[in-house]
Amino acid sequence: MAEQRSHITATDVAKVARLARLDIDAETLVHFTAQLSRVLEHFGDIDALDLVGVDPMTQPYPLVNVLRDDVEQPTLDTAEVLSAAPEAEDHRFRVPPIIGLEG
Amino acid sequence: MPQSASEIARRVRTGETTARSVVEEHLAVISRRDGEINAFNLVTGDSALRAADGIDARVARGEDPGPLAGVPVAVKDNLCTRGVPTTCSSRMLEGWHPPYDATVVQRLSTAGAIMVGKTNLDEFAMGSSTENSAFGPTRNPVDTSRVPGGSSGGSAAAVAAGMASVSLGSDTGGSIRQPAAMCGVVGVKPTYGLVSRLGLVAFASSLDQIGPFAGSVADAALVLEVIAGHDPGDSTSIPQPAPSLVAEVGRGVDGLRIGRVVDLPGGAEPEVEARLEEAFAALVAAGARIVDVALPSFAYALTAYYLLAPAEASSNLARYDGVRYGMRVAAADTNAMYAATRAAGFGDEVKRRIMLGTYALSAGYYDAYYGKALKVRRLIADDFARAYSSCDAILMPTSPVVAFPFGDKVDDPMSMYLCDIYTIPTNLAGHPAMSVPFGLGAHGMPVGIQVLAPTLAESTMFRVGGALEAAGRGA
């Protein structure tokens, strides 16, 4: 595991960019790989800690489900919300085709 | 230096001055200085003057417009303002008009405050110098060849230059306290959950918190009293009323136990270390007792934070996909549209953090990175709990360095991240902390001393902050 940490390759970075839905050109890929590699190297410091049996902490406070009474309340205006969209049609957000072009 | 908010409100409420003249004075400072400083993404002069006239009309009718009557406030541009552009200093949101106001913006307005503009930040609040803004960096009013800190650099600079009396920022890993220290103003990160985040554009939801910048500790307390308190619109909002804080500022520190961290990570500039020693001495002279405490996991907070915050950011920023708001780059299908839009809309630091977070959460690395960071977070919270069993507050520097020249760190992410080494641990623990200006460091730049306190112990924090301010004024 410790070895995985200090070496992030351009292939890894390209894969991560794809997962994160970010187009990335070849030059930026090289640049980011070097920068992320240095950051990840520093992150190896926590390997020195004994974390066996430590309870993970996701929030400063235990999250509880917060419910309100089921009563109608004013909400955002549909026309105002849709007016912020790049493209809208017939009370809906319009997007390009989802399937069938790239496979 | 900024005009005092409590003094402005007093004079406006008693009719000694008008909100209009106060706002006009501040707009004049903005037009004189902001061309160089670039603290504002947008100045809302016309609506500010209209609001001022409304306040003055209420005073004339014998009404009380509230504790911040006529106080000009600047608002970080990641807080939603209805019908007023909110950009997060990103091309992604350029031209977006939110359909609602953040709760804090509403509360300021209800208290009589007047928004004079939206302030510059590192894109989506990711950075420590405000150099990552898509609209150009903000300059430090103390020395315009230097950064103001970040990410709330615009809000810090606006107050430091007297362009607003007070301002709001957001603090995920130090983004209020660090620029406050670098610009020589007071900056407060409240307890996680004390201030509603409804309408704050999310960066890292388990860490983000909104807080004030001000020219004095008392003004910061006054603003926090206004914006704090339960909001049913934020499920992480603590169901308690706002605390009373202004009265704490002058109470003194007699009998308080102040923690000195014996194993604090080094690396602070010698002048910063010297100011910290003077701050301890000032509190002892004021009747406090110094107690040694240990925070053995503190040094690992940087790694935990720069795994957890990017992981949460990678999820929060998935919403910028060119569908519902903001930029869209046209492409033949949705996947290509998402990737092209995000590539064009986000700057480099945002991309780096999204990728870092995506990597830390991806199959094969989740346990080694994200899972481990969550456990380190627990160790840090446990360290603080132990320390606070023997002290009431902890003192340390806000930033290891004073404001640095432009370009010094912007292409070296790790050296930029190290600026946050003293501010990050409190965000991980969810505790309150504040930065109080305390003398000067290298190059005559301001030094901030940080006061840390346990969960919801803002009253203690403001007592210590008030005592430091009183001592620093004499120094």
Phi-psi category of B90—alpha, beta or left, where left has phi over 0 and alpha has psi -120 to 50?
beta
Whether pTM exceeds 0.95: yes
pLDDT of amino acid B474: 56
- Residue B336: is its pLDDT beyond 80? yes
Give the C-alpha separation, B213 to B250, whole Å: 19
Q: Which two tokens stand for residue B469?
A: 């301010």
- Residue B37: is its pLDDT beyond 50? yes
Torsion of CA A83, A89, A95, A101, to 10 degrees: -160
User: What stretch of H or E contains B217?
Assistant: helix B217-227
Does the beta-carbon distance from B378 to A55 stay under 8 Å?
Answer: yes
CA separation (Å) from B23 to B34, B55, B167, B190, B460? 15, 11, 14, 28, 33
Closest CB to B381 among A38, A43, A57? A57
ipTM of the complex: 0.92
Chain B residue with Cα closest to A45: B300
Calculate mean pLDDT across residues B136-145. Answer: 98
Residue among B119, B118, B164 nearest B139 (CA): B119
Taking only the tens place, the pLDDT of each residue in B256-273 is 999 999 999 999 999 999
Task: Give me the amino acid identity at B390.
Answer: S
Residues 8-67, chain A, touching B (beta carbon < 8 A): 8, 12-13, 16-24, 28, 32, 35-36, 38-39, 42-43, 45-46, 49, 51, 54-61, 63, 66
- Residue A61: is its pLDDT beyond 90? no
Closest CB to A22 among B351, B381, B455? B351
List CB contacts (< 8 A) between A3 and chain B. none
Kindly report the average pLDDT of chain B as a whole number: 97
Chain B residue with Cα closest to A94: B323
Preferred mutation among A24, A49, A57 to probe B, highest tally of B CBs within 10 A: A57
Q: Which two tokens stand for residue B429?
A: 């623990």
Active site residue B205: no
Beta carbon pairs, A and B, within 8 Å: 167
For chain A, which residues make up each domain, given as ranges?
A: 1-47
Asked whether B453 and B329 are in contact (CB, 8 A), the reply is no
For chain A, percent of residues with pLDDT exceeding 70: 89
List CB contacts (< 8 A) between A9 and chain B. none
Active site residue B118: no
Taking only the tens place, the pLDDT of each residue in B360-410 is 999 889 999 999 999 999 999 999 999 999 999 999 999 999 999 999 998
List CB contacts (< 8 A) between B379 and chain A. 49, 51, 54
Question: Which of B4, B89, B128, B151 is an active site residue?
Answer: B151
pLDDT of amino acid A103: 46
Beta strands (DSSP E) in B120-197 are: 166-170, 186-189
What is the least distance, in Å, from the CA of A14 to any CA of chain B? 10
pLDDT of amino acid A66: 86
Q: Does A87 touch chain B (CB under 8 A)?
A: yes
Taking only the tens place, the pLDDT of each residue in B158-188 is 999 999 999 999 999 999 999 999 999 999 9
Preferred mutation among B328, B342, B356 to probe A, highest tally of A CBs within 10 A: B356
Active site residue B435: no
What is the least distance, in Å, from the CA of B302 to any CA of chain A? 8
Categorize the per-residue pLDDT at B298 as very low, low, confident or very high, splitting at 50, 70 and 90.
very high
| Maximum distance among all Cα pairs of chain B, rounded to whole angstroms | 70
The CB density around residue B385, as the number of other CB atoms within 10 Å, is 12
Tell me the sheet residues that pair with B74: B117, B167
Calculate mean pLDDT across residues B291-320. Answer: 97
Question: Which of B128, B175, B196, B216 is an active site residue?
Answer: B175
DSSP character for B228? B
List CB contacts (< 8 A) between B101 and chain A. none
Fold annotation for B5-248: Amidase signature (AS) enzymes (3.90.1300)
Give the C-alpha separation, B211 to B64, whole Å: 25
- Return phi, psi of residue B417, to 5°: -60, -30
For chain B, which residues make up each domain, given as ranges?
A: 5-248
